[in-house]
A = this chain, B = another copy of it.
Amino acid sequence: MVHDLPGVSRRRFLQSVGVSGGAGALFATMGALGLAPAAASPAPPFQAPRRSDFTLTGRSAKKVVVLGGGVAGLASAYELGKAGYDCTVLEARGVVGGRNLTVRGGTTETDLDGSTQRAAFSSGVYLNAGPARIAQWMVTLDYCRELGVPIEPFVNANADALIYNEAAGMLPGRPVRYRTAKADVYGYVAELLAKATDQGALDARLTAQDKERVLAFLQGFGAIGGRADDWAYRGGGRRGFASYPGPGTDAGTPLAGPGSLADVFASNVGRYFSFEFGYDQAMMMFQPVGGMDRIPYALSRAVGAGRIRLGAEITALEDRPGGVRVTYVQRGRTRTVDADFCVAALPPHLMARVPHNLGAGVQAALGSFPATAAGKIGLEYRSRWWENDLRIYGGITETDLDLAHVWYPSHGFHNDRGLIVGYYNTGANARAYGALTPEQRALRAVEQGVKIHGEKYRSELAASFSVAWQRMRHLEGAWTAPPYGTPGYNLLLEPAGRVYFAGDWLSHEVAWQHGSFVSARAAVTAVHRRVMAG
C-alpha cells in the first residue's frame, strides 16, 4: 500500500484508518478525501543498477549500444553506467538532447526542406523549443537534483496574463486579464448555484446542512452578496483595478464592470481555466536555470562525452546470436558497433526506417505510432514591455488565434531584453505555420500578436527563431500518439532479441521528459535483470 504522502509513516496511516466512530470518523475511512490509492499495487520504485550488483556475483557489466542521444537514450546510458556497463550512444544530430533543444544566439538549424535559420538572440536570451516545464511529481526533477542542475519556477499560470477570444467578438487591443475573467465567471457561477440551492432546486441532492455549507463556500468563492441581496455577483477588487490603491484617500480605481452574465459566458473566457487544474500542468511548475538543455548536457557529462558519438546516423541494426551489431555513418564514413545489448531510443517513426532483422511484427508496431506536429517561435524584444507596461511577469496568454498560446518568460525578470514564445501550437495550426518560411512565420505571429498586445509587439521586436518539429531533421515530429493496449504497443515493451525500446512514446507521459526517463528506467531494469540472471 502506498500513501500519497510518503512523509507520513505507514504505521501512522494504518492507525488513522483503524480509528472509527470518534470525532475523526468522517476522514478515517480510506478514500474519504482521496488520500489513499484506489489500487494497492503500483509498480515498485526504480532501483538503478549498481557496481555492487556485480562484485558479489562474479558477473560483469556488459556492453550496450544506445540508439539516440535524446533524454531516453542518455538516461539509459547514465543509469547503466552507474553499474559499469560500457555504453556507446549514437546520435544523428550535432547536439545531444533530441527534442530537448534550447535555442540560443548562434544556434543553427536546417529544416528537412533545406532552409536554415541562425538564431541572433542576445546573451541570456533563449528559447526552450521542446520541453519547457516540469511538474513537481515528475522524475525529471529527481534527475535535476541528482545531476546538480539548478531549477527555478516556470510560470504556467498568471492572473495578470491575458485571454483573447476573437471568435467571441473581442476587438484588437481588448483582451481581458485572467484575474478579471475568473472573478466574473466564478462570481456568476456562485450566484447561479446559490440561487438554485437556496430556492430548493437541489433539495434532492443536498441536506439542509449541505446547503448551508455550499452557500458558505459560494460566498467566498464568488465574492457574491448574501441572501438579502439575492446572492448577486456585482464584481469587486478581485477583477483588478484600472489604478491600484494608493496613498491617503486613494482606494484605487476599479475596472468598470462586470459585464452581464450573458456577456461573460458568451466571451468563452472560462474555457481556459481548467488548464490550471491538470495533474500535469497545475502550478507549481519548474524549469532548469539557463535552459532546458542543461538536463541533457548534465546527463552527457555524467555518461562521458567520449561515449557519445554525434552526427552518427544509424543505417542498420542486426540482432545476432551473441549480441547486436549497429552500423552507422559518421562524417561520411561507415562504422559499426558490436555490443551485448541495444537500447533503441529513436522516435518510432524514425526507427521504422532503420533496416533491421527484428521481424515484421516489430516493424509494423513501430509504424503504428503517428507523429504529431507542433511549433514554437521565439520573439526577442528590445525591452520587457510586458513587465514594464502590462505588469505581466511570466505566464501564458491564451487565444483562439492560430497562435494558440503565448508565453512570457519565466526568468530574467527586469532584464533589458527578453523572449516571448509568440506561438506554441499543434495540429493544423502548427502545420500551417510550419509550411511558411521562418520570415513569414515571424510576420504572421507578430501580426496576430499585435491584436493582443498592440504595436509594441511589432516595433520592439529584435530577433526571432521558429521551430516546426515535424520538419526538424532527425526528429520529424513533436510527439506520437501511442496505440496503447494494442498488441503492437505491447510487443515493443518486450525485447526484440537483444534490442530494448525506450522513449516517451512507450510511456503514459508522452511529450514529457518524465515519460522518457521512466521508459529508459524500464529498459535499464529489463537489461540489468537479464544480465544478472544470465
A202 adjacent to B213 (CB under 8 Å): no
| Residues of B close to A394: CB separation below 8 A | 153, 284
Q: How far is the CA of A519 from the CA of B277 in the complex (A)?
A: 39
* CB <8 Å contact, A26 and B168: yes
- Chain B residues with Cβ below 8 Å from A217 are 185, 189, 265, 270-271
- How long is the Cα–Cα vector from A5 to B177 in the complex, in angstroms? 9
* B493 in contact with A249 (CB, 8 Å): yes
Q: A177 → chain B, closest Cβ, in Å?
A: 7
Residue interface mask A273-297, B partner, CB < 8 A = 1: 1100111001110100000000000
Chain B residues with CB below 8 A from A4, complex form: 177, 240-242, 255
Q: Which stretch, A47-55, A344-352, A432-440, A505-513, touches the partner chain B?
A: A505-513
CB-based nearest B residue for A242:
B37
Distance, CA A456 to CA B182, complexed state (A): 38
Q: Which of A201-225 contact B (CB under 8 A)?
A: 201-202, 205-207, 209-210, 213-214, 216-218, 220-221, 223
CA distance A255 to B42 in the complex (A): 11
Question: In the bound complex, do residue A508 and residue B255 qualify as a contact, i.e. CB atoms below 8 Å apart?
Answer: no
**A192 contacts which of B30, B182, B193, B246 (Cβ < 8 Å)?**
B193
> Is A533 positioned at the interface, with any CB of B under 8 Å from its CB?
no
Nearest chain B residue, comparing its CB with the CB of A211 = B265
Q: Is the CB of A42 within 8 A of B253?
A: yes
**Given known A-B contacts A195-B205, A270-B221, A138 and B244 have beta carbons under 8 A apart:** yes
Is A172 part of the binding interface, using a Cβ–Cβ cutoff of 8 Å? yes
Q: Which residues of B contact A199 (CB under 8 A)?
A: 201
A235 interfacial by beta-carbon distance below 8 Å: yes
Contact of A284 among B206, B273, B395, B493 (CB under 8 A): B395
- Interface residue A157 (Cβ < 8 Å from any Cβ of B): yes
Are the CB atoms of B179 and A277 closer together than 8 Å? yes
Pair B518/A239 contact, Cβ less than 8 Å:
no
A30–B193 contact, CB under 8 A? no
CB of A273, distance to nearest CB on chain B (Å): 6
Contact call A206/B180, Cβ cutoff below 8 A: no
B277 touches A183 (CB 8 A): yes
Cβ contact within 8 Å between B155 and A240: no
The smallest C-beta distance from A507 to any residue of chain B, in angstroms, reads 5
What 1/0 flags go to A520-534 for Cβ under 8 Å of B? 011000000000000
Which one of A11-19, A58-66, A423-431 is at the interface? A11-19
**A434-493, CB < 8 A from B:** 453-456, 484, 490, 493
CB of A148, distance to nearest CB on chain B (Å): 9
Chain B residue nearest to A36 in the complex (CB): B256
A31 is an interface residue with CB less than 8 A from chain B: yes
Judge whether A316 is part of the interface by a CB distance below 8 angstroms.
no
Instruction: List residues of chain B with CB within 8 A of the CB of A279.
Output: 179, 237-241, 244
When A4-B255, A37-B253, A266-B26 are in contact, do A286 and B519 touch as well, CB less than 8 Å?
Answer: no
| B12 adjacent to A454 (CB under 8 Å) | yes
CB within 8 Å for A5 and B173 given contacts A153-B394, A249-B490, A508-B250: yes
A246 touches B43 (CB 8 A): yes
Query: A159: CB under 8 A from chain B?
Result: yes
Interface size for A (C-beta < 8 A) is 162
Docked complex Cα distance between A137 and B145 (Å): 33
Whether A5 pairs with B390 at a CB distance below 8 angstroms is: yes
A321 on the B face (CB < 8 A): no
Whether A112 sits at the interface, judged by CB under 8 Å, is: no
Binary contact track A180-191/B, C-beta < 8 Å → 1, others 0? 111111100100
> Considering the chains assembled together, what is the distance between the CA atoms of A264 and B32 in angstroms?
8
A199: min CB distance to chain B, Å: 7
Question: Which residues in B have their C-beta under 8 angstroms from that of A220?
Answer: 270-271, 273-274
Q: Is there contact, CB below 8 Å, between B247 and A25?
A: no
**Whole-angstrom CA separation of A217 from B186 in the bound complex:** 11
Checking B34, B137, B195, B282 against A256 with a beta-carbon cut-off of 8 angstroms, the contacting residue is B34
| Cβ A34 vs Cβ B221 within 8 A | no
| A310 close to B (CB within 8 Å) | no
Q: A256 with B31: in contact, given A136-B160, A173-B13 (CB under 8 Å)? A: yes
A410: min CB distance to chain B, Å: 8
Known: A193-B193, A205-B195. A259 touches B169 (CB 8 A): no
Give the 8 A-B residue pairs with the shortest CB-CB distance, closest first. A37-B242, A31-B256, A42-B243, A34-B257, A201-B201, A245-B508, A196-B196, A159-B282
A-B contact pairs, 22 of them (CB 8 A): A4-B240, A8-B174, A31-B256, A32-B263, A34-B176, A34-B240, A35-B174, A36-B256, A42-B242, A43-B246, A43-B250, A136-B158, A152-B153, A192-B193, A192-B196, A237-B279, A238-B278, A241-B279, A244-B279, A247-B508, A247-B521, A248-B506
Q: A160-B282, A248-B522 are in contact. List 18 more A-B contacts (CB 8 A).
A: A2-B242, A7-B386, A8-B173, A16-B172, A32-B257, A145-B388, A152-B152, A155-B284, A158-B283, A192-B205, A195-B202, A221-B273, A223-B274, A237-B279, A246-B509, A247-B506, A247-B515, A249-B493
